[in-house]
Amino acid sequence: MAIAQAPVRLPVFNPTLPNLEDIEDGVRDILSTGQVTVGKYVAELENAVCELTGVRHAVAVSSGTSGLLLLLRALNLRPGSEVITPSFTFAATAQALLWLGLKPVFCDCEPESFTMDVEVAEILVTERTSAIYPVCVFGVPGDLDAYQRLADRYGLILFYDSAQGLGSTYKGKALGNFGVGEVFSLSPTKVVTSLEGGLVTTNNDEVAECVRRMRDYGKGPDGQNMISLGLSARMTEFNALVGCWSLARIDLWLRNRAIIMARYRERLSVVPGISFQKMPDHCISSRNYMVILLDPERSPITRDELYERLKEIGIQTKRYFYPALHNQMLFRDIDPEASTRLPVTERISARSLALPMYSHMSLEQVDYICDRILELACR
C-alpha cells in the first residue's frame, strides 16, 4: 500500500509575482494593441537591464536555454570542438552544447565556492578546445579574471551561463559585462522572473545583432528574407511586462534574500556537519538558492535522510545539483572517465540540499524550517 505524501506546505521555489492590479493596465494595453511579442515592453525590459548592469546590449528571449543556443550559434564555434564547462550545474548548460554539435568537457569545481576551478580547466585545454564556459553557481560568479586570463592565454572564446546571476556583481561590476556574452534566466525559480524567459547580454555589437536576428527565425531587415539560421525564441509582451515589474524591485528582492540567507546560516551553523557555499569578499551574490552541505561523517543526519524527512512534513527541498552532469544518463557516454577526475564535484553533489528560498519569504517561515531541521538533526 502506497504511503500518502504530505501536501507541500513550503515549496523549495516560489516566484514572487505581481498582483493583477499591478500589471492590469499593461495587460489591457497589450490586448488592445495586438502587439503580443517583441514590442514596447520587451524593449523596456531590455533597456532596464542595460541601465542596471551597464552592458551595451540585452536581448530578451523565450528562455535561458534558447538564449544559450542563440549565443552559441552567434559565436560560431568550430563544429565538433570541445568546450570546457563545469559538471556541477543544471543540465541546460551542457544540453545547449550538444544541440550545436559541440562536446562538453566537464571540469571540477572549487570546494568552497562551487564554481569552476580554473587551474583544473587549464589542464583540460587541448588543440580541440574552442571555448571556456563557466557557470554562475547559486548566484556566485567564480574567478572571472582568472577565466579571462586562461581564455586569452590559449586564444579561446569565453562566455558564461549566468542563469542564476542577475543582480550579482564581481569586483563592483554587474554580471552581464563579462566574456563575449552572458545568458540569464528569468524562469520562475529566479530572483527576477518574467514567468518564463531569458536574456542574452553582450558588449559585442555583432553578437547582439546576430542574436536579435536569430530569435525571430533569422529574418533580415525586411522581415521576410531569412539571412541566417534561427528559431522562434521571441519573448512575449506579457512575459516582458512581468519581467519589468520584477526587475524594478530587484534591490528589494536582493535585500530580502540577504536577510533570509543570514537567518538560515545563523540558525543552522550550530548543526555538526552542515556547511554553506562561500561567497568571496569581492563578489555580491544574487542568493538565488539557499543550499546547505551535509557531511555524512559529521552530520547526525545524511542529506538524503533529511530530504525524505522534510518531505514527510510538507517542506520541499531539492538535491541540487544532483546527479552532477557527468553522472546523468544523457552525458555519461560523452566522457566515461569523468568521475575519476571530478572528486570535488562528486562530493558536493552528494551532499548539497537546496532549502526553500524566495524573495517574499518571512523569517517565521525560515525559523519553522530551521526548527524542523534542528529537531531532526539533534535526535
CATH of the domain at 353: 3.90.1150.10
Cβ(29)–Cβ(181) under 8 Å? no
* Mean predicted confidence (pLDDT) in 210-232: 93
pLDDT at 6: 75
Q: Per residue, what are the HEC states of the chain?
A: CCCCCCCCCECCCCCCCCCHHHHHHHHHHHHHHCCCECCHHHHHHHHHHHHHHCCCEEEEECCHHHHHHHHHHHHCCCCCCEEEEECCCCHHHHHHHHHCCCEEEEECECCCCCCECHHHHHHHCCCCEEEECCECECCECCCHHHHHHHHHHHCCEECEECCCCCCCEECCEECCCCCCCEEEECCCCCCCCCCCCEEEEECCHHHHHHHHHHCECCECCCCCCECCCCCECCCEHHHHHHHHHHHCCHHHHHHHHHHHHHHHHHHHCCCCCEEECCCCCCEECCCCCEEEEECCCCCCCCHHHHHHHHHHCCECCECCCCCCHHHCHHHHCCCCCHHHHCHHHHHHHHHEEEECCCCCCCHHHHHHHHHHHHHHHCC
Based on the domain organization, do 198 and 266 belong to the same domain?
no
- Decide if pLDDT at 3 tops 80: no
Based on the domain organization, do 193 and 254 belong to the same domain?
no
pLDDT at 38: 86
Going by C-alpha positions, the residue among 99, 73, 103, 110 that lies closest to residue 85 is 103
Is residue 152 one of the residues assigned to a domain? yes
Based on the domain organization, do 85 and 70 belong to the same domain?
yes
Is residue 353 one of the residues assigned to a domain? yes
Is residue 4 one of the residues assigned to a domain? no
Q: Which residues pair with 92 in a beta bridge?
A: none
Cβ(84)–Cβ(133) under 8 Å? yes
pLDDT at 5: 64
pLDDT at 4: 55
Rounded Cα distance between 164 and 254, Å, is: 13
Cβ neighbour number for residue 78 with a 10 Å cutoff: 12
The C-alpha angle with vertex 90 and arms to 244 and 286, in degrees rounded to 5, equals: 45
pLDDT at 272: 93
* Mean predicted confidence (pLDDT) in 202-216: 97
**Whole-angstrom distance between the N-terminal and C-terminal Cα of the chain?**
29
pLDDT band at residue 7 under the 50/70/90 scheme: confident
Give Dmax over CA atoms of the chain in angstroms. Answer: 69
Is residue 7 one of the residues assigned to a domain? no
Q: What range does the domain containing 160 cover? A: 20-247
Based on the domain organization, do 219 and 147 belong to the same domain?
yes
Cβ(181)–Cβ(59) under 8 Å? no
Last residue of a domain, one of 207, 232, 247: 247
Based on the domain organization, do 177 and 69 belong to the same domain?
yes
Rounded Cα distance between 233 and 63, Å, is: 8
Based on the domain organization, do 263 and 329 belong to the same domain?
yes
Is residue 12 one of the residues assigned to a domain? no
- Decide if pLDDT at 1 tops 50: no
Based on the domain organization, do 239 and 363 belong to the same domain?
no
**Each residue of 74-100: pLDDT tens digit?**
999 999 999 999 999 999 999 999 999
Q: Is the pTM of this model over 0.85?
A: yes
The C-alpha angle with vertex 181 and arms to 80 and 115, in degrees rounded to 5, equals: 80
Rounded Cα distance between 235 and 238, Å, is: 8
Based on the domain organization, do 97 and 239 belong to the same domain?
yes
Is residue 14 one of the residues assigned to a domain? no
Based on the domain organization, do 194 and 264 belong to the same domain?
no
Helix axes 303-312, 363-377, angle to 10 degrees: 120
Q: Mean pLDDT, the chain, as a whole number? A: 96
**Each residue of 140-172: pLDDT tens digit?**
999 999 999 999 999 999 999 999 999 999 999
Is residue 262 one of the residues assigned to a domain? yes
Q: What are phi and psi of 120, to 5 degrees?
A: -70, -40
Name residues whose C-beta falls within 8 Å of residue 343's C-beta, 6 or more positions apart in sequence: 108
* C-alpha distances in Å from residue 211, one per residue of 52, 232, 336: 21, 12, 34
Based on the domain organization, do 220 and 276 belong to the same domain?
no
Q: Hey, what amino acid is at 29?
A: D
Domain at 149, CATH number: 3.40.640.10
- Number of independent structural domains in the chain: 2
Last residue of a domain, one of 247, 273, 294: 247
Rounded Cα distance between 50 and 220, Å, is: 24
Rounded Cα distance between 190 and 113, Å, is: 19
Q: What are phi and psi of 176, to 5 degrees?
A: 120, -15
* C-alpha distances in Å from residue 280, one per residue of 15, 47, 119, 171, 226: 27, 30, 17, 10, 46
Last residue of a domain, one of 214, 247, 280: 247
pLDDT at 54: 98
Based on the domain organization, do 135 and 59 belong to the same domain?
yes
Q: Hey, what amino acid is at 246?
A: S
Is residue 92 one of the residues assigned to a domain? yes
* Mean predicted confidence (pLDDT) in 179-189: 98
Based on the domain organization, do 173 and 274 belong to the same domain?
no
